[in-house]
Amino acid sequence: MKTVEEIKAAIEAAVPGAGVEIVLNSGPSAQHSLRLAPEHAVRVAQFLRDDAELALDFLSNVTGVDWPDKEITEKVKVTRTVTKTVDGVEQQVEETVDETRKRIEPGCLEAVYHLFSMSKKHGPVTLRMRTANRVDQVDLPSLTGIWRSAEFQEREVFDLYGVVFTGHPDLRRLLMWDGFKDHPMRRDYVEPDDFEYEPTAHDAVLARAAAHKGAQPGPEGTVAGQ
């Protein structure tokens, strides 16, 4: 099979302006991946499936990744004017110092696709797409039209992470029920404190539900159970 660099070059030749990036994997597997620009992802996916040499006709897995906002601390050199006394005379001089600054790097959501070729018997080739952020710009194009096996798996990523796959034929929750709030695989997900809906609740869960009930104000403004 072609190397990831060769696959990148083939994509760029077939889809001008595709904006493909190589994401290196420093682990023992060294399975590097390709990050696609969402606006070109469907055309790139079609090329990878239909190219005679790659023939990536089987999508085995789609998963999600949550990348929260990250605080970055960095040192920068700053030139400033200070007053110094030289030979008994005050002078304005410039000096360069290291200054520590902090900034927030916005987070995002990521969808990861693992591709194989059944006809050529090679793979995997790993594709990635990232949303603009993880708040209100969480759309990515669906690849279900290229690989039908993406249908349920994109629904799972939508359900658990909140990625909205535009063009998906039936995008709705898969594991959680309609009306469920939030997305359980997000890193900042907070479990609710009322677990009465749990069909096989353990004692600790029932205790939490009882504590939740006990904290609700009664009709006279008192706390229930008092």
Residues 152 and 217 in one domain: no
**CB 56, CB 48: distance < 8 Å:** yes
Residue 180 lies in a domain: no
Residue 118 lies in a domain: yes
Residues 118 and 166 in one domain: yes
Residues 52 and 119 in one domain: yes
Quote the distance between the C-alpha of residue 173 and its chain's center: 18
Residue 183 lies in a domain: no
The structure's pTM equals 0.77
Residue 225 reports pLDDT greater than 50 = no
pLDDT tens, residue by residue, 127-173: 999 999 999 999 999 999 999 999 999 999 999 999 999 999 999 99
Residues 56 and 126 in one domain: yes
Residues 51 and 113 in one domain: yes
pLDDT tens, residue by residue, 3-23: 999 999 999 999 999 989 999
Residues 11 and 52 in one domain: yes
Residues 96 and 11 in one domain: no
Residues 133 and 226 in one domain: no
Residues 9 and 61 in one domain: yes
Residues 148 and 196 in one domain: no
* Domain tally, the chain: 3
| Strand positions, DSSP E, 36-175 | 58-67, 70-86, 89-105, 108-117, 122-130, 139-141, 164-166
Beta bridge partners of 204: none
At residue 155, the pLDDT reads 98
Residue 184 lies in a domain: no
Exposed (0-12), middle (13-18) or buried (19+): which is 225, by Cβ within 10 Å?
A: exposed
Exposed (0-12), middle (13-18) or buried (19+): which is 81, by Cβ within 10 Å?
A: exposed
> Distance of CA 213 to CAs 191, 194, 201, 217, Å?
16, 8, 16, 9
Which residue would you say has higher pLDDT here, 103 or 120?
A: 120
pLDDT band, residue 223 (cuts 50/70/90): very low
Angle CA(12)–CA(16)–CA(18) in degrees, nearest 5?
65
Q: How far apart are CA 65 and CA 82, in angstroms?
A: 48
Angle CA(172)–CA(178)–CA(179) in degrees, nearest 5?
125
Residues 163 and 215 in one domain: no
Residues 113 and 98 in one domain: no
31-45, 117-131, 167-181, 190-204 — which is least confidently predicted?
Answer: 190-204
At residue 92, the pLDDT reads 83
* Residue range of the domain that includes 88: 70-104
